[in-house]
Amino acid sequence: GLPGPEAKAKDRPRRQIAELRSQRWYGDPGLRAFGHRSRTFQMGYTRADFMGKPVVAIVNTWSDINPCHSHFKQRVEEVKRGIWQAGGFPVELPAMSLSEPFVKPTTMLYRNFLAMETEELLRSHPMDGVVLLGGCDKTTPALLMGAISMNLPAIFVPAGPMLRGNWAGKVLGSGSDTWKYWAEKRAGNLSDQAWQEIEEGIARSPGHCMTMGTASTMTAIVETLGMTLPGASSIPAPDSGHARMASESGRRIVDMILEDLKPSDILTPAAFDNGITADIALSGSTNAIIHLVAMAGRVGIDLPLERFDEIAKRTPVLADVRPSGRFLMEDFYYAGGLRGLLSRITSHLDLTALTANGCTLGENLEGAEVYNDEVIRPRDNPLTESSGLAVLKGNLAPNGAVIKPPAAEPHLHVHTGKARVFRNYDDMAARIDDPALDIDETCVIVLQNAGPLGAPGMPEWGQLPIPQKILAKGVRDMVRISDARMSGTSYGACVLHVSPESYLGGPLALVQDGDLITLDIPGRRLDLHVDDAELARRKAAWVQPKPHYERGYGAMFAKHITSADKGCDFDFLHAGAPTPEPEIH
Ligand code: FES
Ligand code: MG
């Protein structure tokens, strides 16, 4: 789990300082640059601090209300130390923090906002390259999407997982244990005192969620893509190795700028296949699909959902980490971390892929070991041999839907049942536990209007609740279908990301109580047994719900958001004609 080999000095040609874009601001001896230089002196820097040096942005998603990034105030100083040492001029640029627990209605509404902010911060300032500080769920894809579009040399410093939670001698995991102990509390098995102690013990250090939620999934994917130093994503946030990784990333970005090593050099189709392979081997969050499609779209690479299914079919799940497995990210680090895991699936990876330190993925995996076969399983004892993820199609999801088969009870993998439909979240919340609701465990629970436009922002509602009267029978899983996402720490036979979404009049909007629906995971099918003529009749009578926003960011979001299978990026942010560099007058 320790960071891999130091960057090898490769024979990449090095650029002259005069060629760097920052020199358009600083390099002109005349009046044009006078203001930039005098205003830098105003901040107390001397000529030797910044003249003739690469200018390095540090986009910092620290905020007073993002617990996952609370150590970034200190880490940014360590990044700066590395940049100074290597001869660069560090400039911290604060950006929107996207704190998963606090930002409402959902951080997903603002992922593209942070991506735009990152891109425009870099474009509008005299920056030659960037260190990206993120980790809490959406911050990772957002920072990368912006940096990819700007395509300056970039390195990602992942926040790192928090330490294992602890209560009364028991290990607590983010998310998963919250649901578990809340159920115990509701059943009368936990005192108020115990519940308060759990609140105080479940998140006891800086760092992102330490289960295999979206944060751990995305930071590991970004490392596999080659956008971090090797080993970076597995280091727990409070570990002193994390601080050393931060300063090393600062040192490295200065050389990346001089070598002109850009995201477009690293993020090839092979790198994305490597990223998807890591995602599957980790049994990562389903959210990663949307983020990877969006990130690839920024480079101009088309990632159809089928690619995820193909790679899932050939990739074993080896990380025994919650919620799919037993352990937490701290254990994963001690067991050898991501480098250990990747060293067990080298035959599934393109080892020639270039990474941020100038070495190939294969070079970065040299010497990687696994120290605990329980946490990182050997190839002959995987959690699942294949299909940690499945992409479904059918007349209920013509553009696709996704499910995590290992998270669903096996008897539901092929299932036909009667639909019980909820028009939206409030409708579901109001009626799901009604004892008079006509539903049993063979039914299929359908939630409409929970997608990118319908909810809005495609929140993590996809683990639809099982009615209390069915829970009371001891039933713990049912087939559930929505156009929402699901938290990486959730579980169950939940069909997610149904596209096109119901708000746009997709077939999901036309489902009625009592319709028969078939989920067939081995056949990769999701079918509504209603004939086309009847569906056409229902479509003609269908009325689109009112828009959520008349003004502001929400209105822009609604106008430009693409569907889940296209990554939920804004249509105008896909790779396309280059955006011109700003004029400097
Ligand atoms: Fe930040 Fe889970 S709340 S990663
Ligand atoms: Mg989450």
From 366, 375, 367, select the one nearest 330 (Cα to Cα): 375
Per-residue pLDDT at 2 exceeds 50 = no
Distance 397 CA to ligand 2 centre (A): 25
- Mean pLDDT along residues 218-224: 98
Task: Answer whether 68 contacts ligand 1 (Cβ < 6 A).
Answer: yes
Distance 101 CA to ligand 2 centre (A): 8
Per-residue pLDDT reduced to its tens digit, 74-106 = 999 999 999 999 999 999 999 999 999 999 999
In testing the pocket of ligand 1, which one of 69, 108, 136 has its CB within 8 Å of the most ligand atoms?
A: 136
| Ligand approaching nearest to the C-alpha of 108 | 2
- Mean pLDDT along residues 413-425: 98
pLDDT on residue 10: 60
Q: How far is CA 219 from CA 111, 349, 497, in A?
A: 15, 18, 22
Distance 466 CA to ligand 2 centre (A): 20
- Mean pLDDT along residues 122-133: 98
Distance 20 CA to ligand 2 centre (A): 39
What's the CA gap between 37 and 50, in Å, rounded?
Answer: 9
What's the CA gap between 523 and 415, in Å, rounded?
Answer: 12
Task: Answer whether 101 contacts ligand 1 (Cβ < 6 A).
Answer: yes
Per-residue pLDDT reduced to its tens digit, 294-333 = 999 999 999 999 999 999 999 999 999 998 899 999 999 9
pLDDT on residue 5: 52
What amino acid occupies position 490? S
94 contacts 117 by C-beta, under 8 angstroms: no
Per-residue pLDDT reduced to its tens digit, 160-173 = 999 999 999 999 99
CB contact set of 30 (below 8 Å; sequence gap of 6+): none
Distance 211 CA to ligand 1 centre (A): 10
Quickly state the pLDDT bin for 399 (edges 50, 70, 90): very high
Task: Answer whether 412 contacts ligand 1 (Cβ < 6 A).
Answer: no
Distance 166 CA to ligand 2 centre (A): 20
Distance 53 CA to ligand 2 centre (A): 40
CB contact set of 179 (below 8 Å; sequence gap of 6+): none
Nearest residue CA, atom 2 of ligand 1? 209
Per-residue pLDDT at 6 exceeds 90 = no
- Mean pLDDT along residues 236-240: 98
Per-residue pLDDT at 12 exceeds 90 = no
In testing the pocket of ligand 1, which one of 71, 100, 163 has its CB within 8 Å of the most ligand atoms?
A: 100
Per-residue pLDDT reduced to its tens digit, 350-384 = 999 999 999 999 999 999 999 999 999 999 999 99
Residue carrying the six token digits 């993002």? 66
Task: Answer whether 136 contacts ligand 1 (Cβ < 6 A).
Answer: yes
> Which atom number of ligand 1 is nearest to the Cα of residue 68?
1
Quickly state the pLDDT bin for 184 (edges 50, 70, 90): confident
Burial of 123 (0-12, 13-18, 19+ CB in 10 A): middle
> Which atom number of ligand 1 is nearest to the Cα of residue 100?
3
Per-residue pLDDT reduced to its tens digit, 240-249 = 999 999 999 9
Distance 477 CA to ligand 1 centre (A): 26
Per-residue pLDDT at 9 exceeds 80 = no
Nearest residue CA, atom 3 of ligand 1? 100
| Ligand approaching nearest to the C-alpha of 136 | 1
- Mean pLDDT along residues 518-536: 97
Phi then psi for 461, rounded to 5 degrees?
-100, 0
From 225, 217, 224, 176, select the one nearest 198 (Cα to Cα): 176
CB contact set of 233 (below 8 Å; sequence gap of 6+): 158, 160, 216, 219, 220, 222, 223, 337, 338
CB contact set of 543 (below 8 Å; sequence gap of 6+): none
Per-residue pLDDT reduced to its tens digit, 22-38 = 999 999 888 889 999 99
What's the CA gap between 497 and 486, in Å, rounded?
Answer: 9
What amino acid occupies position 46? T
- Mean pLDDT along residues 544-566: 96
Distance 460 CA to ligand 1 centre (A): 13
pLDDT on residue 7: 53
Task: Answer whether 150 contacts ligand 1 (Cβ < 6 A).
Answer: no
Residue carrying the six token digits 């025994």? 320
Task: Answer whether 162 contacts ligand 1 (Cβ < 6 A).
Answer: no
| Ligand approaching nearest to the C-alpha of 210 | 1
Query: What share of the chain has pLDDT > 90, as a percent?
Result: 90
> Which atom number of ligand 1 is nearest to the Cα of residue 215?
4
5 contacts 230 by C-beta, under 8 angstroms: yes
- Token representation of residue 304: 């159809």
Q: Sign of the CA dihedral 8, 11, 12, 15?
A: positive
Per-residue pLDDT at 236 exceeds 70 = yes
What's the DSSP call for residue 468?
A: H
What's the CA gap between 412 and 409, in Å, rounded?
Answer: 6
Beta bridge partners of 131: 58, 155
The number of C-alpha atoms within 13 Å of 565 and in the hemisphere containing its C-beta is 18
Which H/E stretch holds residue 265? Answer: helix 263-266
Task: Answer whether 213 contacts ligand 1 (Cβ < 6 A).
Answer: yes
Query: Considering the entire predicted model, what is its pTM?
Result: 0.96
| Ligand approaching nearest to the C-alpha of 140 | 1
Mean confidence (pLDDT) of the chain = 95
Per-residue pLDDT reduced to its tens digit, 103-124 = 999 999 999 999 999 999 999 9
Distance 150 CA to ligand 2 centre (A): 27
| Ligand approaching nearest to the C-alpha of 460 | 2
Neighbours of 48 (CB within 10 A): 8
pLDDT on residue 1: 36
